[in-house]
Amino acid sequence: MQIREDDLSGPEIARLLERHLAHMAEHTPPESIYALDLDALRAPDITFWSGWAAGDLVGCVALRELTPDHGEIKSMHAVRERRGEGIGKQFVAFVIIEARRRGYARLSLETGSMAGFEPARRLYGGFGFEPCGPFGEYTFDANSVYMTLTL
């Protein structure tokens, strides 16, 4: 997979993000969806990358700078048809390297507490992310699991 910084202008990205938001809505009550839409991902504190394999868009990930030493993984998504191929692992490894390159001391994320998010929690746990309390602008939400990795 080739991972490249993306300006969020392509129609493929718009469709992928629609699928990502639909996946969130399938498993999460509306008041607990913290996924960002296309416009929100264009914020200056967010860098967005897309992943491509054989000319096909297979996933995406974003990194938000919360503070000069703390980043947050956002909008990580692998297309349903390609899940189980290690796309998520490649994205997490990529973002950890980028966070270290930026000098972050910590990398955090929010994901769902429901069964549909168990694969994501296992993936992050496999990289050493551990449960933590809400961070940044989050507040306690029983539908969320907050995780962090000290870099």
Q: Return d(Cα 124, Cα 90) in angstroms, integer.
A: 12
Element (H, E) at 110: strand 106-112
Specify the number of domains making up the chain: 1
Tokens 């000069």, residue? 68
- Domain with 141 in it: 2-150
Helix, coil or strand: residue 17 = helix
pTM over 0.85? The answer is yes
58-104 pLDDT, tens digit each: 999 999 999 999 999 999 999 888 777 899 999 999 999 999 999 99
User: What is the amino acid identity at position 67?
Assistant: T
Cα angle 36, 45, 65 (rounded to 5 degrees) comes to 95
Using an 8 Å Cβ cutoff, are 113 and 145 in contact? Answer: yes
| 43 band by pLDDT with thresholds 50, 70 and 90 | very high
Say which CATH number the domain at 125 has: 3.40.630.30
